[in-house]
Amino acid sequence: MHIASDPPGSLQIISQRRFTRRVRSVNSQRENNSTDKGAIAGQVMTVQGEPVADAAVMITDDSPSHKDISALTNEQGKYRFDDLIPGDYTIMVNAENYVAQPQHAHVEADNITSLDFSLTILTSNTT
């Protein structure tokens, strides 16, 4: 790029072609940094609004091709799965003394899908 001499404090671009090429290069780098993968994140709570720690959150077999993926919720009941192939997923939550709950989520590239769970207490049917 060649810059012409003008009064102090002003610049004039002589070669617009080089500038355009540089912008295209930067845009290409941004596109190449795209992960083409998404994430699912959420929180597991009781129906009373209390977080459920150590709940098992699993992506089931009928989801897109992946390794077996499972996680435990933290003390705030939160979980997160990263690097997921875009598509439809079934997520199952199991926690001791609570009814297991499946839900469906759609994952898109470069997005985090929010998926929260509200668990009910497991009751026994004794007579």
In a domain, 57, yes or no: yes
Tell me, what's the pLDDT at 76?
98
The answer to whether residues 19 and 62 belong to one domain is: no
- In terms of DSSP bridges, do strands 112-114 and 38-46 run parallel, antiparallel, or are they unpaired? parallel
In a domain, 124, yes or no: no
Mean pLDDT per block of 10 residues along the chain (127 residues) reads 47 42 41 74 97 96 74 98 93 96 96 98 71
In a domain, 126, yes or no: no
For the domain that residue 53 is a member of, what is the CATH number? 2.60.40.1120
Which structural domain range is residue 93 located in? Answer: 38-119
What does the radius of gyration of the chain's CA atoms come to, in whole angstroms? 25
The answer to whether residues 48 and 101 belong to one domain is: yes
Sequential DSSP letters for 89-103: EEEEEE-TTB--EEE
Nearest to 94 by CA among 56, 125, 45: 56
Residue length of the chain: 127
In a domain, 27, yes or no: yes
Q: Tally Cβ neighbours within 10 Å of residue 111.
A: 13
Residue 68 DSSP SS3? coil
Tell me, what's the pLDDT at 88?
93
